[in-house]
Chains A and B, each alone.
Chain A
C-alpha cells in the first residue's frame, strides 16, 4: 500500500471509529435522564466490586421493609452465601418463611419451613392479590429492578429519597404520593423508608440516605450477581488477548518482511 493511500486509510478508519462510537453512544446516552442526581457507586467502576457490608445491610432493609410488598422471585436463599452469610445463617433466614410444597403421598399440599434451595417467598399469591393490597398498583418484582430501569442505581436511590409534600398546584389522586423522580410524580407506593427505620447490627447510622444507599446496592447485586466473577475473568481474557495480539503482530511483521 502506498504512503498516501495509507494516510487516507488511517484517516478514514479513525473517522469511522469515531462516527460509529458516536452513533452508538447517542441512543444510549439519550436514555439517561439528566435530572437524576448522580451518586458514587463503588461497584460501577470498570474494576469495581460490591461493598459486601452495604449489600448485607441492604438485604436487611429489603427483608424488613420492601419484602412486605416487592417479590424477588429469581433469588434463592442459598444465593445469600455469595454476599458473605454462612450456610447456617442462610438456613436460619430461610426457616423464617413457610412455603407450600407437595403433593405428598396422600395427594395433599402441605406447608413446611423454607430451605436454602427455595426461591424467595413472594409476599402475595399472585399479581391480582398484590394489586388488591396496593390500591390497584403492582409493586414490581425486584430481581432485575436495577437493570430494568433507566438510570439504574441512581434512579432507585432517587425514588427512595424523593418523596416530598406535593407543590400547591398538584392535585394528588386518591392513594397516591408525591415523588420528585417518579415519571409523572404520582406514585402508588407510600414512602417506604425514613430515618431510623431499621437498626443495623454493625452500628452504621440508620439515616434515610444510608438505608436507601444500602438497599440500592443490595438490589444492584441481586440484578447482577455474577458481576465480580465476570470482571475477574474479563481481566484474564483481555490480558490473554493482548499477549496473543502481540504475538500475532510480530508473526505478521516477520512474514511480511520476507516479501519483496
Chain B
C-alpha cells in the first residue's frame, strides 16, 4: 500500500510532511483534483454534489436540533415548540432541517432520473447504481423516522399506518408489528428507538455515499453520450472544471432551497403536523410527505383480494399485494442493470425509449397525485394506471424494447460530439 500512486510534490512543506506519512493529499489530488472526467457533462451531473451538500446540511442542522430535542411522548412536541420560539435561531435550524429533507429528496430524485435517462446504471457501473439505491432506501427510512420525532398528529398516525403494514406479512405479521413498536401501540418505546435510529442512519448514509463514490472512481463517470472516454481528448481534470461548475449548480439550488426556508417554510407541511399526537383522534386524511406519495399510491392501488377460484379462501389479501408491490417498486431498481438489453446506453440515441421514460415520469406524477388523495374515484384510477405503467416499464419495456428498438448511432467519441456541437 505504501507505494500507491505516483508521488506528488507539494509546495507547502507542512502538506508535504503530512502527505509523506498519510497520503491524504495525494488521494484528494488523484480523486478530486486531477481525476479525469468526461468533458461534456451537463448540469444534471451537478446533482450528486448537490445531494452531498444537502446531506451535510441535514447533519449539521440535525445535530443542533438534537441539542434541544427531548425524545419523550409528553415532551417532544413541546421541546420543538420551545426551540422554535425561545432557542436562538432554533426556527432557522428546524425549518432548514424540515425543508432540507424535501430538497434532499428533490436532489436525489433528479440524480436518479439522470442515471435512468443516460444509462448510468449499466455495466460497468452496476455497483455504483446499487449503492445509490441503498442510499435512497436509507434516506427513506431516515426521513420517515425523523418525521415521527415532533410527535404530531401526522407523526403518530403516519407511523401507525406505515408500521401496521407489516401486519400483512403472513404468520408473523402481528408479532412483527409489536416488535417494531416495542409494545402494543405506537408509544414512547417507538419514539425512543426511532430517535436513536434517526440519529444513527445519516452517518450510515455517509459511509454508503463514500463507497458509492469509491466505486464511481473505479469505473469513471458516465456522460450524456453514454460513450466511454477513449482518449485524452475526451477527458478533463475534475478540478477546476467541475469544481466550479458544480459549485455554481449547488449555489443555484441553494437559492431555491433558501427561498423556501425563509419565505415559504410551510408550503410542503401538513397543518396536522402542528397538532400534538392524540392516539384517540384519527385525522381525516393521513398523508405522508410528498416524497413518499408515489410509493404510498402503489401501496393503495390494490383493492381486490385474490381468492382461490370458486372459494372464499383468500390467497393473497389486497393489503399484502400492496405491500409487496410497494417494496418491489424500489427493490426492482437493484436489478435494472440486468434488465436493460439495449446496445446503446444513453436515451439520447433511443428515439422510442425516450418517450417511454417521459411516460414513466408522467406515471410517477400521477402516482404522486393519487397518493395525496383518499383511494377512491379518479385518484384511485390514477394510482392503478400509474402502478401498471411503472411495473410495465421496468419489467417489460426495458428488457423487450432494448432488443427491438432501432437506435441512432452515438458519436464515435466524446470529443467528436463536443466538436460537432461547436460548429
Contact = CB atoms under 8 A, between A and B. Distances in A.
Contact of B421 (A5, A15, A19, A150): A5
A27 B368 contact: yes
Contacts of A255: 240-241, 244
A2 interface: yes
Chain B residues touching A, majority SS: helix
A237 B287 contact: no
Contacts of B92: 230, 233
Contact of A234 (B84, B251, B262): B262
A244 B248 CA distance: 8
Nearest to B245: A252
Contacts of A259: 39, 236, 241
Contact of B372 (A15, A30, A144, A183): A30
Interface string A46-90: 100000000000000000000000000010000100000000000
B241 A234 contact: no
A231 interface: yes
Interface stretch (B4-12, B267-275, B330-338): B267-275
B118 to A, nearest CB: 11
Contact of B248 (A140, A147, A233, A252): A252
Q: Among the interface residues B85, B287, B364, B422, which one has the most CB atoms of the partner chain A within 10 A?
A: B85
A149 interface: yes
B262 A231 contact: yes
Interface stretch (A6-14, A106-114, A198-206): A6-14
A2 B91 contact: no
Given A5-B348, A9-B42, A244-B251, A148 B244 contact: no
Contacts of A148: 271-272, 274-275
Contact of B251 (A147, A231, A241): A241
A251 interface: yes
Interface residues of A, number: 55
A174 interface: no
A23 B109 CA distance: 13
B61 interface: no
A245 B371 CA distance: 36
A9 B275 contact: no
B83 to A, nearest CB: 11
A4 B418 CA distance: 11
A224 to B, nearest CB: 8
A139 interface: no
Contacts of A5: 42, 224, 348, 417, 421
Contacts of A31: 270-271
A55 to B, nearest CB: 16
B137 interface: no
Interface string B105-134: 010001001000100000000000000000
A28 B373 CA distance: 11
Say whether chain A's binding surface is mostly helix, strand, loop, or mixed.
helix
Interface in B221-239: 224, 236
A190 interface: no
B271 A24 contact: no
A152 B271 CA distance: 9
Contact of B91 (A46, A149, A230): A230
B378 to A, nearest CB: 12
Contact of A238 (B255, B266, B422): B255
Nearest to B39: A259
B207 interface: no
Given A2-B421, A26-B368, A74-B81, A16 B262 contact: no
Contacts of B372: 26-27, 30
B365 A23 contact: yes
Nearest to A74: B81
B247 A248 contact: yes
B79 to A, nearest CB: 11
A233 B251 contact: no
A172 interface: no
A144 B85 CA distance: 11
B271 A27 contact: no
Contacts of A233: 92, 262
B290 A24 contact: yes
A93 to B, nearest CB: 18
A6 B417 CA distance: 11
Contacts of B373: 30
A245 B251 contact: yes
A16 B244 contact: no
Nearest to B372: A27
A173 interface: no
Contacts of B290: 23-24, 27
Nearest to A25: B267
A27 B274 contact: no
B184 to A, nearest CB: 23
B325 to A, nearest CB: 20
Contacts of B265: 230
B254 interface: yes
Contacts of A28: 267-268
A129 interface: no
Contact of A19 (B84, B117, B365): B365
Contacts of B262: 230-231, 233-235, 237-238
A255 B361 CA distance: 35
Contacts of A125: none
Interface string A210-248: 000000000000010110001101110110011011001
Contacts of A26: 368-369, 372
Nearest to A27: B372
A158 interface: no
Interface string B241-282: 100110110011011001101110111101110110000000
18 contacts: A4-B421, A6-B421, A19-B361, A23-B365, A24-B267, A24-B268, A24-B290, A26-B368, A31-B270, A46-B263, A79-B85, A148-B275, A226-B91, A233-B92, A245-B255, A249-B248, A255-B240, A255-B244
- Please name the 3 residue pairs, one residue from A and one from B, whose CB atoms are nearest each other, closest first: A2-B421, A234-B262, A27-B372
Given A9-B43, A24-B290, A235-B262, 10 more contacts: A24-B267, A26-B372, A27-B293, A74-B82, A79-B85, A147-B274, A223-B274, A225-B85, A238-B262, A256-B244
